[in-house]
Amino acid sequence: MKVVVLTGAGMSAESGISTFRDNGGLWEQYRVEDVATPEGWARNPQLVTDFYNVRRRELLGTEPCLGHRLVASLEDIYPDVSVITQNVDNLHERAGSSHVVHLHGELMKVTSSISPNDPRYIQTLSPEHVEVKMGELAADGSQLRPFIVWFGEPVPQIETATELCSQADIFIVIGTSLNVYPAAGLTYYVPQKASIYLIDPKPVKWNSSHPFRHIMKGASEGMQELLSIIRNS
């Protein structure tokens, strides 16, 4: 039995992580073009570096929510659980999930600004050193940049995520509107036989013909209900 969990911003919002698209989100405070594109990096790497330094400091002050921990607890029930997340924080790992695929990169990592996806240049920052300074270089001599998939860049993990979704027996979506591609397109690869659960307090457009069960609650309450369903089934 293979379980695949797809999580979005609503998952980490319960931990106090600022979302980007909701009212009051980060995109109302910063222009996407300035802090989340290769062009923004080229124009003003200092601004981009400062933006992600602040995001990392915020992350250090947060803890996994109950929802993160309940997702991790699925591994106590099923032998094969994978989490695919659109979030760049490390809260799933800190909650105990052992197999996490990050579609949009990882906030606590930095990499080469010339070859960002070359594993030789990817570094994990320690909690004691989360602030990157201009002049700090990757092993290839280029300025360190965030290990984040910016708008306009390819998503290196999408093929891995697609393969996982195509093998799912149980598919769980938590805290994502399914409006952002390519992540939203993963739903098309879920097998017809799979049991599908959507956890979100808002209406979600499930862009597939598959039947699904929508638990209209937040991540933590929704996972509590889902675990009750699973244990009683």
Q: What's the distance, Cα to Cα, between the start and end of the chain in Å? A: 14
Q: Which helix (H) or strand (E) holds 73?
A: helix 66-73
- Rounded Cα distance between 22 and 14, Å, is 13
In terms of Cα–Cα distance, which of 1, 19, 222, 4 is closest to 101?
A: 4
CA distances from residue 195 to 34, 108, 185, 217 in whole angstroms, order as listed: 41, 33, 18, 18
Residue type, 82: S
Residues whose CB is less than 8 angstroms from the CB of residue 215 and which lie 6 or more positions away in sequence, other chains included: 197, 198, 199, 200, 222, 225, 226
Contact 86, 176 (CB under 8 A): yes
Q: Which helix (H) or strand (E) holds 107?
A: strand 105-112
Active-site residue list: 104
In terms of Cα–Cα distance, which of 216, 205, 218 is closest to 177?
A: 205
Contact 97, 72 (CB under 8 A): yes
